[in-house]
Amino acid sequence: MDQHPLWYLNLVANPEVDVQMGSEVRPMRAHTAKDAERADYWPKLVKLNPDYGAYQERTERKIPVVVLAPR
C-alpha cells in the first residue's frame, strides 16, 4: 500500500497506549523511529520477518518502525 495504515495514523495521533502481555497491561508511549534509530531496527525486523523486506520492495513509502517505551 502506498499510504500508511489507519492503525499507524491512530498511533501518531494518540501515542499513549496500553500493551497487554499475557495478563499484565503496561502503559506505553509510541513514537516513530527516527532515521538513525530505524536504520538500526529495520535490518533486525527483516531478519525476524522477511515479509517486511518484501513489503518494503512493493511500496514507494518508507515503512515506519514504531517504538514503544514505558510511560
pTM of the model: 0.87
Give tens-digit pLDDT for 17-58: 999 999 999 999 999 999 999 999 999 999 999 999 999 999
Rounded CA separation 55/53 (Å):
5
Q: What is the per-residue pLDDT for 1? A: 81
Residue 18 lies in a domain: yes
Residue 1 lies in a domain: no
Cell of 56: 518494503
Residue 56 lies in a domain: yes
In the chain, how many domains are there? 1
> CATH code at 59?
2.30.110.10
HSE-up of 60 (CA within 13 Å, CB side)? 2
pLDDT-derived band at 2 (thresholds 50, 70, 90) equals: confident
Choose among 36, 18, 30, 41: nearest CA to 69.
30
Rounded CA separation 66/57 (Å):
19
Q: How many other C-beta atoms are found inside a 10 Å radius of the C-beta of residue 11?
A: 20
Residue 37 lies in a domain: yes
Q: In which domain, by residue range, is 66 found?
A: 6-70
